[in-house]
Structure 1
Amino acid sequence: MTSTTQSLSERITAPAEVRFPQPLAGVTWRPMTVEDVKPVFELRRLVGRVDHPSYSLSLEEIEHEITADELDRAHDTVIGIDADGRAVAYGIVVLQPSQATLVRSAFEGHVHPDHRGEGLDEVLLDWLEDRGLQQLASSDKTLPGWFVTAVPRQAEEMLELLRGRGFDFRRNWFELVRDVTEPIPDIPFPAGARVETYGPQWAEQTRIARNDAFRDHFASQPLTSEEWLSHDSLPIARADLSYVVLMPDETGEEQVVAFAMTDINEHDWDQLGFRFGYIPYVGVRRDWRGMKLAPAVLSHLLNAYRDAGLVKAVLDVDADSPTGAVELYERIGFEKTSRSVSVLKEY
């Protein structure tokens, strides 16, 4: 990462004004409004069938994304509308609020599959990059600045465009899948540990545990209480299929030392043809590593999935995880199915 005593505002020359793209191929551009949630959701699903068929966002997630407090819709969003009034492209770029070791301007841009090759992706990326530079240049911090996105390896046209623009393909990620109808290893918890179903009473401790567990993970930044609770409030968040592991500290008081969380987007079931749960987080606090807590809580979670009538468990993992997570998951029966890559420019 970049090491400097200069602030990002000193290091980056950003455009004073970012104008929306000029009309192109019958498409005009404007900022998003809350009324665009449904058309953006529909467009994202069409794009997903081509670029990432194993994953989609729910309507509530799109709404959450477009109405987030940290998003300035007038300046951080753009949507392309064709002559028939249909959304055919959109982009979002957000200056991430958590900035412990890194300042990130995270972006995404999508173009309807039927409108690719018309130059829309190029002008959309121009706009996103100009706005991202503005966001990074607004920071007085001396931390590294990233203009960053994640791209499925299937999205070959987007990857080629980003490569041609000088982006760094920094980190690979695997999607792993586990059939829970197959035998699940019985992995006991260590003495003194007990597992509880996740609930509001464990939210703050679990957030703290997550931040500690992911401190040494690629580009991970601590989540605020607001960010954690905001996700908990989404319909996809399934507390009933999420678990925390409690162990006593030196004072004898129990605390959350490990966790495995679940999201379920039933829209994906029809698209993929099977019922599954997605695991956004599995983690163990650093002082409690080496006690086989991660495989134990995963085994507990997989059995819960089977009992709930799910067929598979899905998660994403850093291909170069410092904790050896890929090997851990594969020992429990997960298999690699697809890849994505973190793509960025660093300042």
Structure 2
Amino acid sequence: MADLSPPSLPTPYQWRAATVADARAVHALVAARERALPGGPTTEADRVAADLALPGLDPALDTRLVYDPAGLLVGRAWVHGGRRSAVDVHPAHQGKGLGSALLDWAEARARQAGGERLSQTLADDDRAAVELLRSRGYEPFVTQWQLEIELPAEPEVPGPPPGITWRFFRPGDERAAYQLTEDAFDEWQKRRKPYEEWARHTVGLDTFAPALSPVAFAGEQMVGAVLALNVPGTDEGYVERVAVRKDHRNRGIARMLLRASFRAFHRRGRHTCTLWTHSETGALSLYQGVGMTVRHSSAVYGKALATR
């Protein structure tokens, strides 16, 4: 197998593959990079750990960490499935060629894994990284928005439509929520996640908050869900997933569940709530309709990989 260490890594930096035990250090690096942007940190620690444990990701082959001479982690990259990637460089070490070297490695690893197209998500405010990707032939193809709503007073929750009931998430709801959300997301996502992968990024997160996550039912069937996270160290609520079964849409179920989650957050002293959505879901107008506004935007950039 070819050596896929970062090509031409600048002296005196060193690299190694990551392990799951590196999650905390990687999160500190990602947070430092996000703090340098106007939006501030948006990535939770348990999400970094979940990424390192993705099914099919082999840390020895699919990750690289870069260290400075003092042994501090200053850069990282990972590739999953030959099609998704992430590259982060600490702000104090940008402009030294680390980003280019890690991007070279990511593309080489994606080609070796059989990938034909590689993508990466960047905040619109991350101008240096956007410029680097564009200089390498990447083009944006999906827009993502972080939306927010201010909750100075406790929000009212509309009543359910006829035949619908709702309550907060309980143990045992996991499989039904998985089926519901994956069915809903099948309309735009590239592949259907197995339950274990889905759970690792939703109900399996340490920050998953059942008491803030309302679910709706038609009889015994779950037809709507808002899955929320209670993230420590912030005064904001965060909604991770919103889904309504296709045959129950346009009945006000999503609006009801969102308002119920917002009210639950407000009662716990969180007077702002946020969530992310993107252009392929077609849900932006839904969130704006419940009073949310765009706080930040980002884009997914993609590039066809030429064979070598």
What is the TM-score with the length of structure 2 in the denominator? 0.91
What's the RMSD between the two structures over aligned residues?
2.0
In 1, the alpha carbon distance for the partners of 2:290 and 2:216 equals: 18
* Matching residue within 264, 269, 282 for 2:230: 264
- Equivalent in the alignment of 1:108: 86
One-letter code aligned to 2:124: R
Q: Extract structure 1 runs of 4+ deviating beyond 4 A.
A: none
Matched, 1:191 2:162: yes
- Label 1:298 to 1:62 Cα distance change in 2 as closer, same or farther (>3 A): same
Contact 1:185 1:332 in 2 (8 A): no
Structure 1 residue 159 corresponds to structure 2 residue 143: no
Distance 1:24 1:346, change over 3 A: closer
Cα 1:69–1:289 shift into 2, 3 Å: closer
> Which one of 88, 106, 113 corresponds to residue 128 of structure 1?
106
Q: Does 1:209 align with 2:177?
A: no
* Counterpart amino acid of residue 170 in structure 2: G
Aligned partners of 1:150 and 1:182: how far apart in 2? 35
76-85 or 208-217: bigger deviation: 208-217
State the match for 2:236 in structure 1: 276
- Equivalent residue for 2:150? 179
**Structure 2, unpaired ranges of 5+:** none
Asked if the contact 2:237–2:265 (Cα under 8 Å) also holds between the matched residues in 1, the reply is: yes
Aligned AA (2:95): G
C-alpha distance in structure 2 between counterparts of 1:175 and 1:312, whole Å? 13
1:75 Cα deviation from its structure 2 partner: 0.7
Q: Structure 2 matches for 1:1-347, cutoff 5 A?
A: 17-51=3-37, 53-95=39-81, 105-137=83-115, 145-182=116-153, 184-217=155-188, 219-231=189-201, 232-248=203-219, 254-267=220-233, 269=234, 275-319=235-279, 321-322=281-282, 325-346=283-304
Query: How many Å apart are 1:17 and its aligned residue?
Result: 4.7
Q: Alignment partner of 1:189: what SS?
A: coil
Helix, strand or coil at the partner of 1:136: coil
- Equivalent residue of 1:51, what SS? coil
Classify the secondary structure of the residue corresponding to 2:200. helix
Q: How many residues align?
A: 304
- Aligned 8 A contact 1:25 1:118 in 2: no
Distance apart, 1:345 and its partner CA = 1.9
Identity %: 25
CA contact (8 A) 2:149 2:292 kept: yes
Gaps of 5+ in 1: 1-14, 96-103, 138-144, 249-253, 270-274
> Does the C-alpha gap of structure 1 residues 108 and 52 become closer, same or farther in structure 2, counting only changes over 3 Å?
farther
Amino acid at match of 1:278: Y
